[in-house]
């Protein structure tokens, strides 16, 4: 990649509509960027700026609460990995990430787990919401619904870019996709000895849809030993390919490595990523690609330190146990052995 190309492309979701005159060109662009960088900015998503402003404002209010009010919904209290974490309580590849955050998912009933049930059923359950901000519940659940709709349109575009019907993945997400919303604050570098906001990693779902505030920090692996900055662009999301699409395309699409560096001293960074995956009960199929695309298949990247499974629930539970060792020890100590993780 040349120095001039060290930026992420911008794609317009509206160009993927069936009647759009540039649809085929847009699908070709999506294929190209998703085989190389695996990341792009998305415009035309249809979520109004006022909704974005409302959510980011609410996030700022949450992080401004006294610590004891945030700890009212500490993740350690939830066996479903929902709630608030102080900075340093999440890990990437065994190293501390320096960010405070609160995790939400769809509101679901806790399941009764019987003998022989898969352990990933433990992930089903309710959210925790702060009593000091009662309006947060409706805002978060509405946002999850809105951004899920955007994510499904993106998945359908990926499906068609791979020569498939737009609903090829519907059987593995229609009965309840895996949805995770994180609202994240990265403290400035004067508050930490490390520049690791989040360590280098890949995302595990179909797609990630990231809302950034005004301060940058996201960096994408350029494939040549360097990093491409992805600063905020107003009105856009950053979208990236997750490991499920890499698995389904047998490596034709690329789930790329990325990281977040902490912001400069004296400031902070707000980030709201949404991770959209398949139903936890699903197994990821391998698509029957057209011959021209099949000839370019590279195979799935395998990391011996982070084995990748086609069983969705197994993958998600593995990730949560590793990322949140305090929650794992508190609620899932029986799973903490090499075979389960």
Banded model confidence at residue 1, pLDDT cuts 50, 70, 90: very low
pLDDT for 338 equals 45
Beta-sheet pairing, 227-229 with 268-277: unpaired
The domains located in the chain, with CATH, are 3-335 (2.60.120.330)
Task: Give the tens place of pLDDT for each residue, 194-211.
Answer: 677 788 889 999 999 999
CA distance 265 to 260: 15
pLDDT score of 143: 98
Burial class (CB in 10 A: 0-12, 13-18, 19+), 281: middle
Residue 178 and residue 312 in contact, taking contact as beta carbons nearer than 8 Å: yes
- The confidence band for 191, taking pLDDT boundaries of 50, 70 and 90, is low
Q: What is the pLDDT of residue 96?
A: 80
Residue 10: per-residue pLDDT: 97
Confidence check: pLDDT of 284 > 80:
yes
Give Cα separations from 171 to 108, 166, 167, 251, 305 (angstroms): 20, 12, 8, 21, 30
Write down the pLDDT at residue 6: 80
pLDDT band with cut points at 50, 70 and 90 for residue 15? very high
State the pLDDT at residue 153: 98
Residues 6+ apart with CB under 8 A from 322: 91, 328, 341
What the block records as the tokens of 238 is: 């950053």
pLDDT at 177 over 60: yes
* pLDDT, tens only, 213-236: 999 999 999 999 999 999 999 999
Query: How is residue 112 written in tokens?
Result: 């009764």
| Region 90-97 average pLDDT | 77
Bridge partners of residue 237, in order along the sequence: 42
| Mean per-residue pLDDT of the chain | 92
CA 11 to chain centre: 19
Is pLDDT at 46 greater than 90 in this prediction? yes
pLDDT for residue 88 is more than 80: no
- pLDDT 10s digits, 57-80: 999 999 999 999 999 999 999 999
Q: How many DSSP H helices and E strands does the chain contain?
A: 9, 14
Mean pLDDT to the nearest integer, 255-280:
93
What pLDDT score was predicted for residue 266? 83
Proportion of the chain above pLDDT 70, given as a percent:
96
Sign of CA dihedral 157, 161, 162, 165: positive
Provide the token pair at 159: 């499906």
CA end-to-end distance (rounded Å), the chain: 36
- Cβ-count burial of 43 within 10 angstroms (0-12 exposed, 13-18 middle, 19+ buried)? middle
* Torsion angle of C-alpha atoms 135, 141, 144, 147, degrees rounded to 10: -60
Q: Report the percentage of the chain scoring pLDDT > 90.
A: 81
Could you write out the DSSP letters of every residue in 85-108?
E-TT-EEETTEEE--EEEEE----
Place of tokens 């690609």: 289
Locate 278 and state its tokens. Answer: 């398949």
């Amino acid at each position: 990649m040349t120095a001039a190309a060290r930026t992420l492309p911008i794609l317009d979701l509206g160009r993927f509509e069936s009647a759009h005159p540039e649809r085929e060109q847009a699908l070709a662009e999506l294929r190209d960027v998703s085989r190389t960088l695996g990341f792009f900015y998305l415009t035309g998503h249809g979520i109004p700026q006022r909704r974005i402003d409302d959510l980011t404002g609410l996030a700022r209010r949450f992080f401004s609460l006294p610590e004891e009010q945030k700890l009212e919904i500490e993740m350690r209290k939830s066996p479903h990995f929902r709630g608030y974490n102080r900075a340093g309580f999440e890990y990437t590849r065994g190293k501390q990430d320096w960010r405070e955050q609160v995790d939400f998912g769809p509101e679901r009933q806790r399941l009764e787990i019987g003998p022989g049930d898969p352990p990933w059923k433990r992930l089903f359950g309710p959210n925790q919401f702060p009593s000091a901000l009662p309006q947060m519940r409706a805002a978060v659940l509405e946002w999850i619904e809105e951004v899920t709709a955007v994510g499904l349109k993106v998945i359908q575009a990926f499906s068609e870019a791979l020569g498939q019907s737009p609903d090829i993945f519907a059987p593995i997400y229609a009965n309840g996709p895996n949805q995770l919303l994180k609202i994240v604050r990265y403290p400035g570098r004067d508050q930490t000895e490390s520049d690791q906001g989040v360590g280098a990693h890949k995302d595990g779902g179909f797609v990630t849809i990231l809302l950034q505030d005004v301060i940058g920090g996201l960096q994408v692996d350029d494939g040549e030993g360097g990093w491409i900055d992805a600063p905020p662009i107003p009105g856009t999301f950053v979208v990236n390919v997750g490991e499920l699409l890499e698995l389904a395309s047998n490596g034709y699409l690329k789930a790329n490595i990325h990281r977040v560096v902490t912001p400069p001293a004296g400031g902070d960074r707000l980030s709201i990523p949404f991770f959209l995956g398949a139903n936890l009960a699903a197994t990821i199929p391998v698509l029957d690609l057209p011959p021209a695309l099949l000839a370019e298949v590279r195979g799935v990247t395998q990391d011996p330190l982070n084995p990748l499974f086609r069983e969705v629930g197994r993958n998600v539970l593995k990730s949560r146990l590793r990322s949140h060792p305090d929650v794992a020890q508190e609620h899932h100590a029986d799973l903490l052995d090499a075979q389960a993780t």
